Amino acid sequence: MSNAFETNRRSFLAGTVASTAGFTLGFHIPGIDSAAAQGQTPELNAWVVVKPDDTVVIRVARVEMGQGTLTGLAQLVAEELECDWKKVTTDYPTPGENLKRNRVWGNYQTAGSRGIRDSQDYVRKGGATARAMLIQAAANQWGVPVSECYTWKGVVRHRPTNRELRYGQLAEAAAKLTPPADVPLKDPKNWTIAGKSLPRLDTKSKLDGSQIYSIDHKMPGMMLAAVKICPYFDGKLKSYDASKITSMKGVKKVVKVDDTTVAVIADTWWRAKSAIDQMPIEWDKGPHAKLSSDDVTKMLVEGLSADQAFIGNQAGDAKTALASAAKVVEATYAVPHQHHATMEPMNATVVWTPEKCEVWTATQNAESALATAATAAGLPIEKCDVYRLNLGGGFGRRTAHDFVRQAVLIAKEMPGVPVKMIWSREEDMTHGYYHPVTMAKLRGALDKDGNLVGLHMRISGQSILSTINPAGLQNGRDPATFQGLNPSGTEGVFGYGVPNLLIDHAMRNPPVRPGFWRGVNNNQNAFYLESFIDELAAAAGQDPLEFRRKMMKNHPKHLAVLNAVADRVGWSKPPAPGIYRGLAQHMGYGSYVAACAEVSVNAKKEVTIHRIVAATNCGHAVNPQQIAAQIEGSFAYGLTAGLLGEITVKDGRIVEENFDTYPILKMDQMPAVESIVIPTNDFWGGVGEPTIFVATPAVFNAIAAATGKRIRKLPLGDQLAKA
Amino acid sequence: MIRLTINGTVREVDVEPDTPLLWVIREQIGLTGTKYGCGVAACGACTVHIDGQPVRSCSLPVSEVKANQKITTIEGLSPDLTHPIQKAWLELDVPQCGYCQSGQIMAAAALLKEKPKPTDAEIAEAMSNICRCGTYNRIKAAIKRAAGIPA
């Protein structure tokens, strides 16, 4: 894997980090750890390098953005390798190396709660194959059969003679062997590293400031860029007056990046930002200059009763069932745009020359970032590479690479000079890929005994794929709209048996670009459905848990997590006086989740969430304490949208620009969360998102129980006080 | 030139006086553990100590800091992760993405200096930093552990 820019990069980084730093846990410089930099140590395979000192380098194709994926994937490889966990370190191979090696590391995308579940089989095989080669090398050296040898914590032992060789002593010989095919994987019942609540590999460096995030990347002679992007949807950059700022201290260049964006390059970012803030800029407000959130709502309301709609799930004849019902319940709900608001704003560092283009950035999909960079660079993809730095949050935002494109275009204006472009928080918040805006009208048919015999769920609103990936549409239909509402499959199945069912989508796409926002369409689908199930139970005069249970006989895994939270919270006994409960369940990203919230509402109509009990069945639990951390955190993320946050539109642009107007849930509002991890060990589900789905509906159901007031529009805000 | 005392070392920097302390720390001094999150003192990712008090450095012009005031950044909190807050954070595996954690740790360390046994309400009031990953419950538990308060 040795190549010219590998060497160049090492030489300029050598001045800033100790030569061994790349090998020390927690001080990770991408590229430095790659095989080319590891002296002569050959790899056992794409996933595993064992060095003479027994250090095991596990290569990780997916990226760490907070969810513990890096540690989990390393656990899976180390489990099969049977190495000493204390000697494990990790490395991110670049997407350029992946391309050169015929994509030996597979998919780099880290999204959809897929980091572990979509790669567990081949990374485990990488560990198991490497182990087999180490055993074979030992057997060869001793001249004994492999069957007389076994491994434990990085050592191969010969059982009859108690001789042993360390992996570090065997790696060079093992690397020369032909890898065996079809090495069996361990039964998860026998796991000793995977499946355990091990501490994360990356914690120490997050406690003393030594973890290098993309925004922290430094290079000799580096320049900094700040940008202004047209704030109007589909608007353009009309003009700017660089003469007002070119004499400011540190300013090097003012660059028209493209039709929408202007940049100032300076010797520090603060100077670049100060200068661009003072530069007169005129915008062409484009075709939507008068658009407001009210206009968006009107579009969606029209879709709620439109004739044309794409079908997501259908059984029996819902319309007839509704027409002949003993009782019809109807409710309309709404979910606004949301912003990812990663704590680290978008940024990237680029060195461009006519011969090559190198990018250092935080990305959820380095292969996609590489393709974007190559196009912007005007260079063949083989002449480009992307070095992955740690992400200060992803949540889906860093699956899109508009910022990488801009950074490359800016760096092209200063060939050979490293340029780091950083978006201000204001640019970041007003140029997101927002959680899609949708509404839903649900109509339920109850028979005389209060059974749900018909349900029509009409979703109206934005399709993510129609903007992000139109090729993913199916005859115009966006299948992702129906996350968690599907009739079958392994990803997200509707958890209730309803004999007459229609779930359909009237696509209405306002010009606010949508994106994959942690949890994606599951978030609103669970809010709509689980709120309405509670409304139906109330209309039927039934307990919301029993009402659900009756319809879940054919969905035992959905039911099991619901029962787990009900049991833990003590649903069969009344809560303490003044405390009210709400339930929700949902399936998404392959996992089954449920939650129960306990809330109180005071005389001023302020809500206190006293307790959340949440359960997940993610199939296999690779690191239970990190799964618990994801469950806890998902309530902060989900309830920020449920209680506080809203991106609105006025005069053709996003209104909210920073955390003062786009509030994020803080510690004083964070509920206690009891997590229940109940893997059934018969499938691989996701972890990073699923419990978000049930956060808001569980709390809103509890609020309805407490107040009798059903909140059907997010966020809660001051709706209770106004009611 | 402006003189600053950062992590026990006196530094001279050539910057415009209205430059926020955050950007002096990150760009002139070169210590990147202190993070930029919002620039309007709303998120706390930039929290440092000035004479032991927690300060949101993104909104403090460097000219307002006196040369003899002691600025402590996350890099200077302890030489080897031995501050009780760092030890508790490590034991409870608090960080997720980790970006906000420098600010969280600095805010928590300042809290314990002022209130060695804080109540839950005092913790919630002092810890107004944003964590988008939602590590709040582990942060609270780690502060209690560092303070020797039973969980």
Q: How confident is the model over A320-345, as a mean pLDDT?
A: 98
Q: Do B81 and A394 touch (CB under 8 A)?
A: no
Q: Over the stretch A91-130, which tens digit does the pLDDT of each residue have?
A: 999 999 999 999 999 999 999 999 999 999 999 999 999 9
Q: How far is CA A411 from the centre of its chain?
A: 29
CB contact under 8 Å between B136 and A670, yes or no, is yes
> For residue A722, which amino acid is it?
K
User: What pLDDT sits at residue A41?
Assistant: 83
Instruction: State the pLDDT at residue A39.
Output: 54
**B42 vs chain A: nearest CA distance in angstroms?**
6
Confidence of residue A290 (pLDDT cuts 50, 70, 90): very high
**Averaged pLDDT, A516-538:** 98
Nearest to B132 among A67, A68, A342 (CB): A342
pLDDT on residue A12: 33
Closest in B90, B99, B134 to A633, CB measured: B134
Where do the structural domains in chain B lie, given as residue ranges?
Answer: 2-76, 84-147
- As a whole number of angstroms, the distance between CA A210 and CA A206 comes to 7
Residues 6+ apart with CB under 8 A from A452: A444, A445, A446, A496, A498, A536, A540, A547, A551
Q: For residue A242, what is the DSSP state?
A: G
Phi-psi region of A619 (alpha: psi -120 to 50; beta: other; left: phi over 0): left
For residue A204, the 8-state DSSP code is G
Chain A CB contacts of B124 below 8 Å: 667-668
Tokens of A353: 């020359």
Residue A686: what pLDDT?
Answer: 98
* Integer Cα distance of A238 and A227 in angstroms: 15
Range with the poorest average pLDDT among A3-7, A381-385, A484-488, B72-76: A3-7
Predicted-complex ipTM score: 0.98
CATH for B2-76, options being 1.20.120.80, 3.10.20.30, 1.10.10.10, 3.30.499.10: 3.10.20.30
d(CA A180, CA A126): 11
pLDDT of residue A83: 98
What is the C-alpha to C-alpha distance for residues B15 and A55, in angstroms, rounded to an integer? 44
Which two structure tokens, joined as six digits, stand for A481? Answer: 């709209």
Per-residue pLDDT of A362-394, as tens digits, reads 999 999 999 999 999 999 999 999 999 999 999
Distance from CA of A613 to the nearest CA of B (A): 14
Could you tell me the fold of the domain covering A4-206? Answer: Aldehyde Oxidoreductase; domain 4 (3.30.365)
Q: CB contact, 8 Å: A428 with chain B?
A: no
A278 at interface of B, judged by CB pairs closer than 8 A: no
Exposed, middle or buried: residue A624 (CB in 10 Å: 0-12, 13-18, 19+)?
A: middle
Q: What is the pLDDT of residues A45-100, one digit of tens each?
A: 999 999 999 999 999 999 999 999 999 999 999 999 999 999 999 999 999 999 99
- pLDDT value at A27 more than 90: no
Count how many Cα atoms sit within 13 Å of the Cα of residue B100 in the half-sphere of its side chain: 28
Please give the helix or strand (H or E) that residue A360 lies within, else none: strand A357-361
Give the C-alpha separation, B33 to B10, whole Å. Answer: 19
Sorting pLDDT into bands at 50, 70 and 90, what band is A446? Answer: very high
Q: Which residue of B has its CA nearest to A217?
A: B32
Quick one: pLDDT at residue B151?
77
Nearest CA in chain B to A210: B33
What integer is the mean pLDDT of A279-300? 98
- Chain A residues inside the 8 Å CB shell of B133: 66, 393, 633, 636-637
Amino acid (one-letter) located at B123:
I
Chain B residues near residue A637 by CB distance under 8 angstroms: 132-134
A89 phi and psi angles, rounded to 5 deg: -130, 170
The confidence score (pLDDT) of residue A40 equals 66
Q: Which of A215, A483, A515, A480 is nearest to A395 (CA)?
A: A515
A-chain CB neighbours of B36 within 8 Å are: 215, 345, 422, 425
Question: Measured between beta carbons, which residues in chain B are less than 8 angstroms from residue A660?
Answer: 40, 42
Q: What is the mean pLDDT of chain A?
A: 94
pLDDT at B16 over 90: yes
Confidence of residue A31 (pLDDT cuts 50, 70, 90): very low
Residue A460's beta-bridge partner residues? Answer: A439, A506
pLDDT in tens, B87-116: 999 999 999 999 999 999 999 999 999 999
pLDDT digits (tens, 9 = 90+) for A260-273: 999 999 999 999 99
Residue A33 has pLDDT above 60, yes or no: no
**Contact yes or no for A274/B27 (Cβ under 8 A):** no
What confidence category does residue A714 fall into, taking pLDDT thresholds of 50, 70 and 90? very high
Please check whether the two domains, A214-286+346-422 and A293-338+434-722, share a CATH topology: yes
* Phi and psi at residue A2, to the nearest 5°: -65, 140
In the structure, what pLDDT confidence band is assigned to residue A723 with cuts at 50, 70 and 90?
Answer: confident
Of B28, B97, B134, the CB nearest to A634: B134
Using a CB-CB distance cutoff of 8 angstroms, which residues of chain B are in contact with residue A392?
Answer: 35, 97-100
SS (HEC) of A15-51:
CCCCCCHHHCCCCCCCCCCCHHHCCCCCEEECCEEEC
What residue segments make up the domains of chain A, in order of their start? 4-206, 214-286+346-422, 293-338+434-722
- B97 to A212: CB separation less than 8 angstroms, yes or no: no
| CB-CB under 8 Å, B105 with A269 | no
Percent of chain A with pLDDT over 90: 94
Chains A and B form CB pairs within 8 A to the count of 176
When the candidates are 3.10.20.30, 3.30.365.10, 2.130.10.10, 2.40.110.10, the CATH number that belongs to A214-286+346-422 is: 3.30.365.10
Of B20, B81, B97, Cβ closest to residue A65: B97
**Among A612, A111, A156, A648, which residue's Cα sits nearest to residue A399?**
A111
Determine whether the interchain pair A392/B101 forms a contact, defined as Cβ–Cβ distance below 8 Å: no
* CATH no. for A293-338+434-722: 3.30.365.10
- What CA–CA distances, in Å, run from A521 to A239, A465, A528? 39, 11, 11
- Taking residue A204's Cβ as centre, other Cβ atoms within 10 Å add up to 20
Judged against a pLDDT cut of 90, whether residue A177 lies above it is answered with yes
How many Cβ atoms are within 10 Å of B25's Cβ, its own excluded?
26
Q: What phi, psi does A154 have (nearest 5°)? A: 85, 15
Structure tokens at A571: 């649903």
- Residue A630 phi, psi (nearest 5): -65, -40
Residue A29 pLDDT level (bands cut at 50, 70, 90): very low
CATH of B84-147, one of 2.60.40.2890, 1.10.150.120, 1.10.150.130, 3.30.160.110: 1.10.150.120
